[in-house]
Structure 1
Amino acid sequence: MIEAFLAAFDALPEGSFTGTADGRRYVVTRSGFSGDKVQKLVAEELGGTDYISLNLYRLASGARLKPCEMPAQKVVDFVLALRPDPEVRR
């Protein structure tokens, strides 16, 4: 399961973007620190109250997921379901 989560997380764009998960729209920010050894994702539901926040530590011993005050399964399910909106070009 962690492999699927990491693949889905790594496929997400860096920076801020909008997307859909489980039929709900979110604004999402993905950022990296310490040479991307620490990555953070924060998502807020547009027009709703859902909130997702996690830190992902890329250690020599393997990846460590640290959700912020929510169950790990909630953030795993969210990342696996999240579909970023196509980029809008003008």
Structure 2
Amino acid sequence: MGLLDKIKQLYIGYSKVSYNGKKYGVTRIDFNQGKSFKVYAEELGGTDFISLNYYVTSSSEKLKPCEMPNEKVVHFLNNFKVLND
């Protein structure tokens, strides 16, 4: 499953996920008819956060982490679980 598929597993707007045994509040906003995405996740009761933009062009897809390593964002996207509470 690609990164775009993982992003689309997040609800548009606000939701909660589990990641590394902790709960995160996540906001997903879609732009440009689903060609651009902003994701911001913040550890609930903690200090960790994940912030990224993702762009889909006619020739490629680009992940742009916001002031953090690419690996941290990819690990989050590949390992979060959406919570239904």
Structures share fold, TM-score greater than 0.5: yes
Q: TM-score scaled by structure 2?
A: 0.92
Partner of 2:80: 82
Question: How far apart, in 2, do the equivalents of 1:44 and 1:11 lie?
Answer: 17
Partner of 1:32: 30
Whichever residue aligns with residue 3 of structure 2, its letter is: F
Q: TM-score scaled by structure 1?
A: 0.87
4+ aligned runs moved over 3 Å, structure 1: none
Question: How far apart, in 2, do the equivalents of 1:4 and 1:38 lie?
Answer: 15
Tell me how far 1:7 sits from its aligned partner: 2.1
Tell me how far 1:4 sits from its aligned partner: 2.9
Question: How far apart, in 1, do the equivalents of 2:2 and 2:12 lie?
Answer: 18
Deviations 1:34-62 (A, max 9, x none): 11211000000001000110000011111
> Could you tell me which of 19, 39, 42 is aligned with 2:40?
42
RMSD: 1.2
Total equivalences in the alignment: 85
Superposition map of 1:1-90 within 5 A: 3-86=1-84, 88=85
> Which runs of 5 or more structure 2 residues have no equivalent in the other structure?
none
Question: How far apart, in 1, do the equivalents of 2:48 and 2:3 lie?
Answer: 20
* Structure exhibiting the larger radius of gyration computed from Cα positions: 1
**Quick one: percent identity of the two aligned structures?**
42
Question: How far apart, in 1, do the equivalents of 2:3 and 2:37 lie?
Answer: 14
